[in-house]
Structure 1
Amino acid sequence: MLRRVWAPTGQPLVRPVHPRYEWLYIYAFVNPESGESRFWLVPVLNKEVYQGVMAAFAKRVGADQDHHVLVVQDGGGFHVPAVQGHPPGVEAVTLPPYAPELQPAERLWALTDPTVANHCFDTLEDFTQTLAQQCAWLETQPDLLSQHTLFHWWPLLTK
């Protein structure tokens, strides 16, 4: 199968596409002010995975009764906290529907997508490895992430 890709004017190009139906999703967390980030690659989007990722995120950033973290999220149907609520120290705010421009993490996809766009990977594992390397690299680029996610209206923390 062939797919059209961007090319200079007057020079049509096509790329081979191997359609498959295996999926991989990214959970991304970013602090717009500091650029600190965390990425998780998961095979499905559901409430159990969401709860697991939130627990892992809380542990990784040290969220607890004395260290509070605010998570801004979209209204995905799988964004369902466990019965006992979010992990201690994590509070989630859900954005209004159809407002991706308010979500700083939406700007991260412009930094992850080019790594895999218009590439034909032999296996999902190859795809996952390439994307994981990009996400790991992005975690080491706080200035780049702040440039993409720190909106002019974002409330800055006072120390």
Structure 2
Amino acid sequence: MPVEVWAFDEHRLGLKPILRKVWAPRGCRPTARGHHRYQWLYLYGFVRPATGQVVWFIADGVNTALFSALLASFAAEVGAGPDKHVILVLDGAGWHVAKDLEVPEGLELMFLPPYSPQIQPAERLWPLTNEPIVNEYFETLEELDEVLAERCRSLADDQDQIRAHTLFEWWPHHN
């Protein structure tokens, strides 16, 4: 039976801008429009570091019922079931460990130690997904959703870049 090792994490993005320093001519102060509004989208990223495959979902919240549905969709997408075993490495967020979480057949959850994001390959996806939204102003969550969806599509087609960012030397390298 084939076994694949994947990693998972979620990332909160919203109408509160992500600001970064930028170069500007001496004496010129760069500006970035912003209006802090606390409305959020959540980007869910499943990554297989050995190959650079990614599966993305964008939603407007986080909870156990939604996470159960995402696990079912992910399992169907990658073919997890009685003939294929998928180990999913993730953190111990409350909705990941809830008693009423429904884990599909063929999917096994393995939890990282607390406070250890540096060993989570999926954490390395977020600088890549943030790139087109840094120093940008979005009027609505729908505008942000469109930009994120396009970025996720382009990253899904660039498995070499995903692998370069997420494949740690100690992570299983077999395909």
TM-score normalised over the length of structure 1: 0.90
Deviation at 1:66, TM superposition (A): 1.3
Match of 1:28, as an amino acid? G
Deviation at 1:5, TM superposition (A): 4.5
Contact residue 107 and residue 148 of structure 1 kept, 8 A: yes
Looking at structure 2, the residues matched to 5 and 101 of structure 1 have their Cα atoms a distance apart, in angstroms, of 21
Match of 1:39, as an amino acid? W
Looking at structure 2, the residues matched to 29 and 5 of structure 1 have their Cα atoms a distance apart, in angstroms, of 26
Structure 2 CA distance for partners of 1:151 and 1:64, relative to 1, 3 Å = same
Deviation at 1:156, TM superposition (A): 2.3
The structure, 1 or 2, with the larger RCO (C-alpha pairs under 8 Å, 6+ apart) is 2
**Any runs of at least 4 consecutive aligned residues in structure 1 with deviations exceeding 6 A, and if so which?**
none
TM-score normalised over the length of structure 2: 0.82
Match of 1:138, as an amino acid? L
Aligned partner of 1:58 in structure 2 is 75
Structure 1, unaligned stretches of length 5 or more?
none
Match of 2:171, as an amino acid? W
Match of 2:136, as an amino acid? H
Tell me the percent identity.
39
Aligned partner of 1:8 in structure 2 is 23
Cα-Cα RMSD = 2.1
Higher share of residues assigned strand? 2
State whether structure 2 residue 79 is matched by structure 1 residue 69: no
Deviation at 1:12, TM superposition (A): 2.9
| 1:35-66 Cα shifts (integer Å, max 9, x gaps) | 11101001001111111100100011110011
State whether structure 2 residue 50 is matched by structure 1 residue 33: yes
Q: How many residues align?
A: 157
State whether structure 2 residue 157 is matched by structure 1 residue 137: no
Structure 2 CA distance for partners of 1:85 and 1:115, relative to 1, 3 Å = same
Looking at structure 2, the residues matched to 34 and 65 of structure 1 have their Cα atoms a distance apart, in angstroms, of 22
